[in-house]
Structure 1
Amino acid sequence: MSMARLAGVPLFLWLILAGHDGWALAVLMLSGITDYLDGKLARRWNQISNLGRLLDPAADRLYILTTLFGLTWREILPIWLTAALLARELMLLVMVWILRRHGYPPPQVNFLGKAATFNLMYAFPLLLLSDGTGWLAWMASVFGWAFAGWGTTLYWWAGILYVVQVRRLVKADATAD
């Protein structure tokens, strides 16, 4: 299922840039449903794999980055929010690089990271809907920005926890030598 989600990323980007918001939302919703089912079924049938541990967060990040790009391009999201979320991603890439240099795998996804992704995955479709007119667009804007605020805050909080985790591992390596 993660592979199917990854395959949907270019389609989603094209739909959002072309202004086919309904279809873009449908692809995003399908991605969210398959993400949920993939995790649920993998745990239930004990089919959790290292590949799945890599592909699932990669698909999440690609959808987030693609959505950020599309919504910023269409001027639905302000550049500062996109920059804040991209800066956190860059920080995590640096942490993964440091971990690999010390022989550690990437950190496990924690609950805050999952909660942040959940909030952002709700925020983005709502903000896309807010690009319209009428009461539905207004409600989508209110809830979309609430989810975006919480998602961004949790995203950074989870990122800071990863930095602390990496720092402890590297410090333990330094004292062991």
Structure 2
Amino acid sequence: MIRRNIANFFTCLRIILIPVVLWLISIMSKESVDAAHYWALGVFMFAAATDFIDGQIARRTNTISEFGKLVDPLADRLLVISVLIALMWREFLPIWMGVLIVSRDVLMLIGAPIIGINDKEVREKLAVHWTGKAATALLFVSICLFILFNLPAKLDAGFFGRINPVGFVIFCVGIVFSYVSGFIYVRRGIKLIGATSSQNGDITPA
């Protein structure tokens, strides 16, 4: 029982650490890199690392659970979106950068019930695509760079004087992968729903 709960513990820990990261971001200096930047970076990196840890534990101990399948990707999205919103609120990021990510998830939340991806049977058959994993990893890396190097007080430094250029490029690539993975997820869901309907006799083959 304890072994079964270890992976889920790290998943829940990722969610628990979100308000800690948000608080640290709220006290980061806008003029220079201070201790809060390093603490926010460290806690965020550990929270992001739990995404790898819980998956490895679940696979190696053969304790993959329905709870983990549902909550693990939710924890990832909550971590990414909440930190991006906090960085926008503190002006460490321009609003449009965060909106790109939030919009994708809003579209997924609205579209999933419409096309039936919220159906448990269909959802269980949807394999996680590598583009989704790549998007999450890239966004994690870009956020680390934004936390450490973005200084909104440098108003006269230009866009890349306030926004880390390496982080910006990684973020843009992550955005592309994020939307591609969303498209693939929806397309797979539609195909699975069509196949399920055909098997149940809802759709008569021509």
Alignment of 1:117 with 2:136, yes or no, is: yes
Which structure 2 segments of 5+ residues have no match? 1-9, 29-35, 155-159
Farther-moved stretch of structure 1 (145-154 vs 105-114): 105-114
Structure 1 position 70, deviation (Å): 0.9
Q: Give deviations 1:100-152, integer Å, cap 9, x for gaps.
A: 3586336442211000000000001101222248xxx97x8122112101100
Kept in 2, the 8 Å contact 1:95–1:166? The answer is no
1:60–1:151 distance in 2 versus 1, CA, 3 Å: same
Structure-1 residue corresponding to 2:171: 148
2:83 & 2:194 partners in 1: Cα distance? 36
How many percent identity over aligned positions?
33
Aligned-partner Cα distance in 2 for 1:141–1:151: 15
2:80·2:140 contact (CA, 8 Å) conserved in 1? yes
1:5 aligns with 2:14: yes
Unaligned segments of structure 1, at least 5 residues: none
Aligned residues: 173
Relative to structure 1, the CA distance from residue 100 to residue 37 in structure 2 (aligned partners, 3 Å threshold; closer, same or farther) is closer
Root-mean-square deviation (Å):
2.2
* TM-score of the superposed pair, with normalisation by structure 2: 0.75
**Quick one: distance in 1 between partners of 2:167 and 2:150?**
11
| Alignment partners' CA distance in 2, 1:165 and 1:94 | 17
Structure 1 pair 174–46 and aligned structure 2 pair: CA distance change class (3 A): closer
Q: Write 1 or 2 for the structure with the bigger share of helix.
A: 1
Quote how far apart the aligned CAs of 1:173 are: 4.9
Displacement of 1:10 in angstroms is 1.1
2: distance between equivalents of 1:101 and 1:33? Answer: 30
Which residues in structure 2 correspond to 1:7-156 (within 5 Å)? 7-19=16-28, 20-97=36-113, 98-100=116-118, 104-105=122-123, 107-132=126-151, 141-156=164-179
Which has the higher Rg, Structure 1 or Structure 2?
Answer: 2
Matches of 1:17 and 1:108 in 2, distance apart? 37
